[in-house]
Structure 1
Amino acid sequence: MDPYSPELLWMVILGFILAFFLAFAIGANDVANSFGTSVGSGVLTFKQAVILAAIFETAGAVLIGYKVTDAIRKGVVDVSVYEGSENVLVLGMLASLIGSTIWIFIATFANAPVSTTHSLVGGIVGFSLVARGGDGLNTGQLISIVISWFVSPALSGVVAIVIYTLIKYLILRAGNPFKAGLISLPIIYGLSFFINFLAITFGGSALLGMSHLTTWMCFVISIGVAIAVALIIQFTLVPWQKRKVLSEANSSGNNVTIPPHTQYQINTVLSLENGKINEAFESKDVEVAAIDNTGNLTPNGSTVALDATLADQKSGMVETLFHYLQILSAVFTAFAHGGNDVSNSIGPLITIWMVYTEGSAMQKSESPIYLLFYGGIGMVIGFALLGRRINETIGKKITKIVPSLGFTIETAAAATVLLASKLGIPVSTTHCIVGAVVSLGIIYGHTDDSGKRVNWKLALSMFSAWVITLPVAGGISALVMYFFKLGFGF
Structure 2
Amino acid sequence: MVENHPVNKDLKKIQAFRAGMEKENRGIANLGVALVFLVLVLIYTAMTQSDGSTGIFVIAAAVIGGYMAMNIGANDVANNIGPAVGSKALTMVGALLIAAVFEAAGALIAGGDVVSTIRKGIIDPSAMADQMTFIWAMMSALLAAALWLNLATWVGAPVSTTHSIVGGVVGAGIAAAGAASVAWPKMGAIAASWVISPLLGGLIAALFLLFIKKMILAKENKLAAAETWVPVLVGIMAGAFSMYLVMKGLKKLWKPDTAMLWMIGFGSFAVVWAVTKPLVKRAAAGLENRRKSVAKLFTIPLICSAALLSFAHGANDVANAVGPLAAIVSAAQSVDMGSGKIALPIWVMAIGAIGISIGLLLYGPKLIRKVGEKITKLNQMRAFCVALSAAITVIAASWLGLPVSSTHIAVGGVFGVGFLREYLNSRENKKRRLTRSEEVKIAHRRLVRRRELLTIAAAWVITVPASGLLSAALFYAMSNAF
TM band (smaller chain): 0.7 to 0.9
Tell me how far apart the structure 1 counterparts of residues 50 and 251 of structure 2 sit (CA, whole Å). Answer: 24
Tell me how far apart the structure 1 counterparts of residues 372 and 188 of structure 2 sit (CA, whole Å). Answer: 31
Change (3 A) 1:184 1:331: farther
Partner of 2:385: 408
1:230 paired with 2:224, answer: no
Which range is displaced more, 15-24 or 62-71?
A: 62-71
Change (3 A) 1:149 1:22: same
- Secondary structure in 2 matching 1:238: helix
Tell me how far apart the structure 1 counterparts of residues 191 and 108 of structure 2 sit (CA, whole Å). Answer: 25
Give the conservation status (yes or no) of the 8 Å contact 1:332–1:411.
no
Tell me how far apart the structure 1 counterparts of residues 408 and 155 of structure 2 sit (CA, whole Å). Answer: 18
Amino acid at match of 2:359: G
- Secondary structure in 1 matching 2:337: coil
1:39 paired with 2:85, answer: yes
Partner of 1:354: 330
Tell me how far apart the structure 1 counterparts of residues 280 and 124 of structure 2 sit (CA, whole Å). Answer: 53
Gaps of 5+ in 2: 1-48, 427-440
**1:192 Cα deviation after fit:** 2.4
Amino acid at match of 1:229: V
Given candidates 443, 452, 455, the residue that maps to 1:461 is 455
Give the conservation status (yes or no) of the 8 Å contact 2:141–2:172.
yes
**Larger proportion of helix:** 2
- Secondary structure in 2 matching 1:43: coil
**C-alpha offsets along residues 381-425 of structure 1, whole Å, 9 cap, x if unaligned?**
211111111111111111111221111122212332455567786
1:167 paired with 2:167, answer: no
Which range is displaced more, 123-132 or 367-376?
A: 367-376
Given candidates 351, 364, 371, the residue that maps to 1:394 is 371
**1:454 Cα deviation after fit:** 1.3
1:93 paired with 2:138, answer: yes
Tell me how far apart the structure 1 counterparts of residues 113 and 390 of structure 2 sit (CA, whole Å). Answer: 19
Amino acid at match of 1:26: I
Q: Percent identity?
A: 34
**1:170 Cα deviation after fit:** 1.6
1:55 paired with 2:101, answer: yes
Tell me how far apart the structure 2 counterparts of residues 201 and 161 of structure 1 sit (CA, whole Å). Answer: 25
Amino acid at match of 2:55: L
For these two proteins, the number of residue pairs brought into alignment is: 416
Partner of 2:284: 242
1:156 paired with 2:201, answer: yes
**1:329 Cα deviation after fit:** 3.0
Tell me how far apart the structure 1 counterparts of residues 291 and 250 of structure 2 sit (CA, whole Å). Answer: 44
Given candidates 469, 477, 480, the residue that maps to 2:471 is 477
Greater gyration radius: 1
**C-alpha offsets along residues 214-254 of structure 1, whole Å, 9 cap, x if unaligned?**
4444444444344333333334x3255235x52xx4xxxxx
Tell me how far apart the structure 1 counterparts of residues 103 and 411 of structure 2 sit (CA, whole Å). Answer: 19
Q: TM-score, normalised by structure 2?
A: 0.77
Amino acid at match of 2:415: V
- Secondary structure in 2 matching 1:135: helix
Partner of 1:304: none
Tell me how far apart the structure 2 counterparts of residues 174 and 334 of structure 1 sit (CA, whole Å). Answer: 34
Amino acid at match of 2:104: T
Q: How does 1:190-339 map to 2 (within 5 A)?
A: 190-201=235-246, 207-208=252-253, 210-211=254-255, 213-235=256-278, 237-243=279-285, 246=287, 249=288, 270=289, 314-339=290-315
**1:99 Cα deviation after fit:** 0.8
- Secondary structure in 1 matching 2:181: coil
Given candidates 124, 131, 137, the residue that maps to 1:78 is 124
Amino acid at match of 2:211: L
Tell me how far apart the structure 1 counterparts of residues 414 and 267 of structure 2 sit (CA, whole Å). Answer: 33
Amino acid at match of 2:454: L
Give the conservation status (yes or no) of the 8 Å contact 1:28–1:390.
yes
Partner of 2:417: 440
Change (3 A) 1:367 1:405: farther
Change (3 A) 1:425 1:366: farther
Give the conservation status (yes or no) of the 8 Å contact 1:120–1:473.
yes
1:125 paired with 2:101, answer: no
Change (3 A) 1:333 1:79: same
**1:433 Cα deviation after fit:** 2.2
Given candidates 427, 431, 435, the residue that maps to 2:408 is 431
Change (3 A) 1:369 1:63: farther
Give the conservation status (yes or no) of the 8 Å contact 2:280–2:297.
no
Amino acid at match of 1:439: G
Change (3 A) 1:363 1:45: farther
1:14 paired with 2:60, answer: yes
1:452 paired with 2:446, answer: yes
Gaps of 5+ in 1: 250-269, 271-313
Which range is displaced more, 102-111 or 217-226?
A: 217-226
Q: TM-score, normalised by structure 1?
A: 0.76
Give the conservation status (yes or no) of the 8 Å contact 1:86–1:360.
no
Tell me how far apart the structure 1 counterparts of residues 452 and 263 of structure 2 sit (CA, whole Å). Answer: 45
**1:373 Cα deviation after fit:** 5.4
**1:86 Cα deviation after fit:** 2.5
Which range is displaced more, 368-377 or 137-146?
A: 368-377
Amino acid at match of 1:382: G
Partner of 1:343: 319
Change (3 A) 1:358 1:171: farther
**1:193 Cα deviation after fit:** 2.6
Given candidates 352, 356, 367, the residue that maps to 1:375 is 352
Tell me how far apart the structure 1 counterparts of residues 400 and 314 of structure 2 sit (CA, whole Å). Answer: 15
Tell me how far apart the structure 1 counterparts of residues 200 and 209 of structure 2 sit (CA, whole Å). Answer: 14
Give the conservation status (yes or no) of the 8 Å contact 1:153–1:432.
yes
**C-alpha offsets along residues 132-165 of structure 1, whole Å, 9 cap, x if unaligned?**
1113211122111111121111111111122112
Amino acid at match of 1:464: A
Partner of 2:233: 188
Which range is displaced more, 395-404 or 185-194?
A: 185-194
- Secondary structure in 1 matching 2:336: coil
1:139 paired with 2:184, answer: yes
Amino acid at match of 2:459: A
Give the conservation status (yes or no) of the 8 Å contact 1:192–1:332.
no
Give the conservation status (yes or no) of the 8 Å contact 1:71–1:426.
no
Tell me how far apart the structure 1 counterparts of residues 113 and 196 of structure 2 sit (CA, whole Å). Answer: 20
Tell me how far apart the structure 1 counterparts of residues 400 and 125 of structure 2 sit (CA, whole Å). Answer: 20
